[in-house]
Amino acid sequence: MLAWLAPDNDQPLIKVPVQAYDGTPLENENGMNGRKQLLEQLEAAQHIIHAHKPDRIVMFGGDCLVEQAPFAYLNERYGGELGLIWIDAHEAPTEQDSEIIQRLGIKTAGTKELMNSTESLKEWIKESGIKHLAIHLDLDVLDPKVFRSLLFANPEAPYNFSAAGTMQMPQLLHLIKQLSEETDVVGLGITEHLPWDSIHLKNLLGEIPILNN
């Protein structure tokens, strides 16, 4: 659906094969449910990317893991001169989170700060000598009052383990445009899109007799 919503262009649309879930419980391997299936999808993505050898990659759908192969490829493609902006909704960091962020030298900026200025991001790009940029866009960063096609916004069974975003669409667009003007954006991942209205409507239509006889 995201690919259909995206603007038309002359770039190829490549689908990574993902087996439809048949209801069989996923096996837990080394503490991870569905590890085998995830590795198969990761390897498939790697093969596709290396077959095409693109300069830029846009990814639609899935969760954060869908970017592992594309961003790793782009980092190699651009010789380590790739920066990563992670746009996501999170609860306030715990003490352990803060320690990890500080130890790894990760720069952070909240929605309120970015509403006033994107200078901190521009300074980070310049100070780090970033020539190319990959952007992770988790749609849960958006305020659910303006965009509800999100994992935690299921009207029938709300998901309470994710923070609700507060960013507005004009603000998000402004942020991405500012980043695009500051450096060469070569990767974009658009993740965690769950169109609940479409899913529930499809299920409804599947039960209407005249549509199924």
Percent of the chain residues past pLDDT 70, beyond the cut: 98
* Model pLDDT, residue 160: 67
* Model pLDDT, residue 9: 86
Q: Residue 159 pLDDT more than 70?
A: no
For residue 4, give every residue at least 6 positions away whose Cβ sits within 8 Å of its Cβ, in sequence order, or none.
none
Q: State the sign of the Cα–Cα–Cα–Cα dihedral 165, 166, 168, 172.
A: negative
Extract long-range pairs of 69-74: CB within 8 Å, 24+ residues apart: 69/42, 69/45, 70/45, 70/134, 70/187, 70/189, 71/134, 71/187, 71/189, 73/46, 73/49, 74/132, 74/134, 74/186, 74/187
* Model pLDDT, residue 92: 75
- Evaluate whether 196 touches 157 at the Cβ level (below 8 Å): no
- The residues pairing with 184 across neighbouring beta strands, listed in sequence order, are 132
The count of C-alpha atoms lying within 13 angstroms of the C-alpha of 111, restricted to the half-sphere facing its C-beta, is: 19
Asked which of 44-53, 85-94, 132-141, 159-168 is least confident by mean pLDDT, the reply is 159-168
Mean pLDDT of the chain: 90
Amino acid at position 136, single letter: H
Amino acid at position 123, single letter: E
- The pTM for the full model equals 0.89
Separation between Cα atoms, residue 152 and residue 115, nearest integer Å = 24
- Evaluate whether 57 touches 70 at the Cβ level (below 8 Å): yes
Percent of the chain residues past pLDDT 90, beyond the cut: 57
Q: Residue 109 pLDDT more than 80?
A: yes
Q: Residue 91 pLDDT more than 90?
A: no
Q: Residue 133 pLDDT more than 90?
A: yes
- What is the arithmetic mean of pLDDT over 59-87? 93
H-only helix segments in 54-109: 68-77, 95-104
* Model pLDDT, residue 161: 66
